[in-house]
Amino acid sequence: MSQTLNIFRREIASYFATPVAYVFIVIFLLLMGWFSWGFGRLFESGQADLYGPFFNFHPWLYLFLVPAISMRLWAEERKSGTIELLLTLPVSMLQAVIGKFLAAWAFCGLALALTFPVWISVNYLGEPDNGVILAGYVGSFLMAGGFLAIGSCISATTRNQVVAFILTVVVCFAFLLFGLSGVIDFFRGWAPAALVDALAGLSFSTHFDAIAKGVLDLRDILFFLLVIAFWLAANAIVIDLKKAD
Amino acid sequence: MSQQAKRNYGAGALLILAVLFVALLFVVSLVFRGARFDLTENNLYSVSQGTRNILASIDEPLNLYLYFSDSVSKDVPGLTPYRDYSRRVRDTLTEFASYAGGNLNLQVIDPLPFSEAEDAASAAGLTGFPANSAGDTFFFGLVATNAVEGRETVAFFDPNKEAFLEYDLAKLIYNLNQVRKPVIGVMSTLPINRGFDPATRQMREPWIVLQQAEQLFEVRQVAPTVNSIDPEIDVLAVVHPKDLTDATTYAIDQFVLRGGKLAVFVDPQAEMDIPADAQTNPQAAMFAERSSDLSKLLETWGVAYDAKQVVLDRTYGLQVSAGPGRRPVRHVGILSIDTAGMNGDDVTLAELTTINVSQSGHLAKKPDAEVEFESLLTTSEDSMSVSSDRVRFMTDPSSLLDGFAPTGQNYTLAARVRGTFSSAFPDGAPPAEPVEGEEPAAPPTAEHLAAATEPNDILVVADTDILSDRLWAQAQSFLGQRLISAFANNGDFIINSLDNLTGSSDLISIRGRATSQRPFTRVQELQRQAEARYQATEQQLEQQLQETERKLTELQAGRDDNNPLILTPEQQTELARFQDERLRIRQELRQVQSNLRGDIESLGTWLKVINIGLVPLLVTLFALTIAWRRARRREEANR
């Protein structure tokens, strides 16, 4: 546990050692603000409700921003050769994987938390259902974790950060896509129903939507936790495999 | 271990992991069904206590057959929302069954094309529609039966009505479990009931509120001329009691004293009270009396109400269209009451958000009355009471604001009155009014009651328009069904009240949780302030204009020469001043008008700036400070 914590600290510190983290947060906040207040017309909607004009955009923002965080997690270590050093430390593979992941997740959480003015704004303008907003934030954080775990595992498969970024976007996009009714309908035409239903059940957007509506269903929460656990375990296996290369 | 073996081992591990992941997801979805924490303020997605009480009170086994065309819908694009919703419906019903102590048997049926199940679904009256090119029918409805041939159905589950799902299902079970539906008697002088409309020469649909009441209760029409009220009636709704005879009033009096429940809707200016000759004689229609009163009874029972007074409220006044091409104006006689004006402690109003009334009167408890008087709907303090003639002869709603002087009083628009009432006819039944050529009617056979023995509840509402469709709901046709979309809670309030008077409060606790409107109250407040400012400036400027005009007239009248067509130099100066003044005032008014939304727009701009730019700016400043300090530290270290 303490080793995981050490890795976590080292990673977090490394984020803020360069301007990259600040640039990321600034871009994230600018986009989030513009999507909600400009494109999503939150003020003009006249409703103190964040479900539509704010949380709706989270999956699509994460699709590009989370891979940008995750791409360097392992690819950089592999390229610069520090991965060997890391693995010679008295740290288990899983501890390293979890520590790095938690640091990236906490960083995402910080970026998400910095959107707090939107919460203050709707509370200033009207009387929003704060329970629903809280659920939206919980769902968004869990979804970010899911995306990050995928990105972390993919980052371990390559030395090239750009390749890691693109592959992560593609895989995450697939996980989002299956939640869209249009896509599901397209598959319903020819694919076996059981498969289509199963794929729809794997979609991030359906589980996120269910949470953002205001209900913390254990099944939705466990879905994200299982996704995270699965991809992190795969991450450890991939690093172990790559060690052989 | 060789490289290849290690790779195979790794690939195998990944495969096992994937299988484990899918299996775990499957187990999770089965095991943790219903394990959830509802964070919504009104617990929109949880089975409420009211539903639990209804489910616990089921005293004989009920069978629920959920028809969902699973096979037919599987490969049909476009039915996905229904497939998703079917899960929600099934989950809710399963949860219901868990609270019903084994008295609720749920069966999910997939009515395959040309099967007995499909015939049964059709026969039960479920709505089916063609799902594919082969013409297979898609069903998604519910049939519920009890042991004694009672049957209730949901013809089709509409995902748009998801928020009402629990209420609809609880109501269905409640109805099925009832031995007999409560009987509501409706005595009305307004066209609330189903009937023939001579103007359109067509059958007239009853008002939506009555249609909703018919789903829950047995609704009977009671003529406003009866001499006695059927004792089978549980609740009597008296709407717009105009010119009731003493005999009818006495019948109502005795009905209440015997324990019958009463809901009275009186009105100083009932807009739906349209004279038959309104089309041909609009002048007469304007002068027609549209007020109603039940003063004989209400006074006796401790309620003060003046049928000549209407309430105006600047805070709750609604924006109405002033005609094509004109700016909407605030009508301070048509009020949209929000939660601040509702008694949230009363079950009939709990969780409702908006109730609209129009040109309503107001009620009060008589000072010496020994009754409990509980206000249900009240105005804001920014209100006043005026003679109903002001609204009766009004041509422009904005004229109601002339001389508006709020009294700071919250006027009561609807109230619940509880007490052990005494008769308004202390001397017994009134003598029958002789009608020419007819035998005098026999006096009522039931014994006269001078006072009630038990306390009773009555509901008094000082507006009848609250019941009319135009103030709260629209009806439209969908798949052959009449769907109601409500934009205010008037219907909920009325049904809640009737339901409450019949004694079933469990259903009330479920109804009305669905309203999810959360308007920007601050923006609305700014809008009201801006309008008030505009009105004030407008009044002030118009006064100045009138003053200038008056001066001009004075100059003209004061002349003693013989040539009134030629203006004196003073008059010319005054005229020029007047024209300048008028121009200036017009410009100023236009300016005020264009500034009307200024505050709101600037608030919007500020919020956008803060939300999009502020935190990124702070983060940037923070990053620059850190970078600067680091650079300095490095410099110091190098020195």
Q: Are B616 and A111 in contact (CB under 8 A)?
A: no
For the segment A230-241, what is each residue's pLDDT rounded down to a tens digit? Answer: 999 999 998 888
Q: What is the mean pLDDT of chain B?
A: 84
* Residues sharing a CB contact under 8 Å with residue B112, sequence separation 6 or more, in sequence order: B71, B72, B118
Residue A1 has pLDDT above 80, yes or no: no
The helix or strand, by DSSP H or E, that contains position B62, with its residue range, turns out to be strand B62-68
Q: Averaged over A120-140, what is the pLDDT?
A: 92
Give the three-state DSSP class for B467: helix
Helix axes of B615-638 and A20-33: crossing angle, nearest 10 degrees = 170
Q: Inter-chain contact B518–A126, Cβ cutoff 8 Å?
A: yes
Q: Averaged over B315-321, what is the pLDDT?
A: 87
Q: How far apart are CA B558 and CA B563, in angstroms?
A: 13
Residue B514 has pLDDT above 80, yes or no: no
Q: Inter-chain contact A181–B80, Cβ cutoff 8 Å?
A: yes
Q: What is the pLDDT of residue A144?
A: 96
Residues of B in contact with A127 (CB under 8 A): 518, 521
Provide DSSP, B555-581.
HHHT--SS-TTSPPHHHHHHHHHHHHH
Closest Cα in chain B, distance from residue A45 (Å): 9
* Other Cβ atoms closer than 10 A to A114: 17
Q: How far apart are CA B369 and CA B17, in angstroms?
A: 78
Provide DSSP, chain A.
-HHHHHHHHHHHHHHHHSTHHHHHHHHHHHHHHIIIIIIS-HHHH-B---TTTTGGGHHHHHHHHHHHHHTHHHHHHHHHTHHHHHHHSS--HHHHHHHHHHHHHHHHHHHHHTTHHHHHHHHHHS---HHHHHHHHHHHHHHHHHHHHHHHHHHHT-S-HHHHHHHHHHHHHHHHHTTSHHHHHHHHTTS-HHHHHHHHHT-HHHHHHHHHTTEEEHHHHHHHHHHHHHHHHHHHHHHHHHHT-
Residue B561 has pLDDT above 80, yes or no: no
A167: amino acid identity, one letter: L
The helix or strand, by DSSP H or E, that contains position B27, with its residue range, turns out to be helix B3-31
Give the three-state DSSP class for B339: helix
Specify the higher pLDDT residue, B324 or A17: A17
* C-alpha closest to that of A132 among A209, A44, A28: A209
Q: What is the pLDDT of residue B558?
A: 66
Q: Inter-chain contact A19–B623, Cβ cutoff 8 Å?
A: yes
For the segment A169-210, what is each residue's pLDDT rounded down to a tens digit? Answer: 999 998 888 777 677 777 766 777 777 777 778 889 888 988
For tokens 């609009």, the residue is: B282
Which residues, in sequence order, are bridge partners of residue A226?
none
Closest Cα in chain A, distance from residue B599 (Å): 13
Q: What is the pLDDT of residue B538?
A: 77
What token pair was written down for A61? Answer: 């923002």
* Other Cβ atoms closer than 10 A to B371: 17
For tokens 């009163």, the residue is: B293
Best mutation target, B6, B15, B74, B75, to test chain A (most A CBs within 10 A): B75
Enumerate residues 34 to 93 of chain A having a beta carbon within 8 A of any beta carbon in chain B.
34, 36-38, 43-44, 46-49
Residues of B in contact with A202 (CB under 8 A): 25
Q: Inter-chain contact A37–B608, Cβ cutoff 8 Å?
A: yes
Closest Cα in chain A, distance from residue B412 (Å): 25
Q: Inter-chain contact A237–B17, Cβ cutoff 8 Å?
A: yes
B482: amino acid identity, one letter: R
Q: Inter-chain contact A22–B522, Cβ cutoff 8 Å?
A: no
Q: Averaged over A102-124, what is the pLDDT?
A: 94
- Percentage with pLDDT > 70 across chain B: 90
Q: Are B139 and B81 in contact (CB under 8 A)?
A: no
* Chain B CB within 8 Å of residue A213 CB: yes
For the segment B420-478, what is each residue's pLDDT rounded down to a tens digit? Answer: 999 999 988 888 766 555 555 555 556 888 998 888 889 999 999 999 999 998 877 66
Q: Are A135 and A216 in contact (CB under 8 A)?
A: yes
- Percentage with pLDDT > 90 across chain A: 43
Residue B350 has pLDDT above 80, yes or no: no
Residues of B in contact with A29 (CB under 8 A): 615-616, 619
What token pair was written down for B543? Answer: 């006064």
Closest Cα in chain A, distance from residue B107 (Å): 22
Q: Averaged over B260-287, what is the pLDDT?
A: 85
What token pair was written down for A159? Answer: 């030395």
* Chain B CB within 8 Å of residue A18 CB: no
Residue B308 has pLDDT above 90, yes or no: yes
Beta strands B62-68; B137-145: pairing state: antiparallel
H-type helices in B116-244, by residue range?
116-123, 165-177, 208-216
**∠ CA(A104), CA(A110), CA(A111), 5° rounding?**
95
Q: Is B242 exposed, middle or buried (0-12, 13-18, 19+ CB in 10 A)?
A: buried
Residue B511 has pLDDT above 60, yes or no: no
Residue B623 has pLDDT above 70, yes or no: yes
Provide DSSP, B221-256.
E--TT-SS--TT-SEEEEES--S--HHHHHHHHHHH
Q: Inter-chain contact B13–A129, Cβ cutoff 8 Å?
A: no
Q: How far apart are CA B101 and CA B66, in angstroms?
A: 19
Best mutation target, B25, B68, B319, to test chain A (most A CBs within 10 A): B25
Q: Averaged over B244-265, what is the pLDDT?
A: 93
Of A30, A181, A214, the CB nearest to B44: A214
Best mutation target, A232, A237, A243, A245, to test chain B (most B CBs within 10 A): A237
* C-alpha closest to that of B422 among B292, B257, B269: B257
* C-alpha closest to that of A66 among A29, A37, A28, A103: A28
Residues of A in contact with B614 (CB under 8 A): 117
Q: How far apart are CA B568 and CA B573, in angstroms?
A: 9
Band of pLDDT at residue A244, cut at 50, 70 and 90: low
Residue B515 has pLDDT above 50, yes or no: no
Q: Inter-chain contact A47–B6, Cβ cutoff 8 Å?
A: no
Best mutation target, A230, A235, A242, A245, to test chain B (most B CBs within 10 A): A230
Specify the higher pLDDT residue, B286 or A11: A11
Q: What is the mean pLDDT of chain A?
A: 87
Enumerate residues 183 to 212 of chain A having a beta carbon within 8 A of any beta carbon in chain B.
184-186, 188-189, 193, 198, 201-202
For the segment B378-410, what is each residue's pLDDT rounded down to a tens digit? Answer: 999 999 999 998 888 887 888 888 888 999 999
3-state helix, strand, coil in chain B (%, to 5): 40, 20, 40
The helix or strand, by DSSP H or E, that contains position B203, with its residue range, turns out to be strand B202-204
Rounded to 5 degrees, φ, ψ at B60 are -140, 150
Give the three-state DSSP class for B494: helix
Band of pLDDT at residue A52, cut at 50, 70 and 90: confident
Q: What is the pLDDT of residue B329?
A: 83
Closest Cα in chain A, distance from residue B484 (Å): 23
Residues of B in contact with A132 (CB under 8 A): 39-41
Q: How far apart are CA B63 and CA B149, in angstroms?
A: 11
Q: What is the pLDDT of residue B510?
A: 66
Q: How far apart are CA B13 and CA B8, in angstroms?
A: 8
Q: Are B44 and A214 in contact (CB under 8 A)?
A: yes
Band of pLDDT at residue B522, cut at 50, 70 and 90: confident
Q: How far apart are CA B181 and CA B498, in angstroms?
A: 13
* Other Cβ atoms closer than 10 A to B23: 10
Give the three-state DSSP class for B206: coil
Residue B225 has pLDDT above 80, yes or no: yes
Q: Inter-chain contact B32–A47, Cβ cutoff 8 Å?
A: no
Give the three-state DSSP class for B330: strand
Q: Complex ipTM above 0.95? A: no
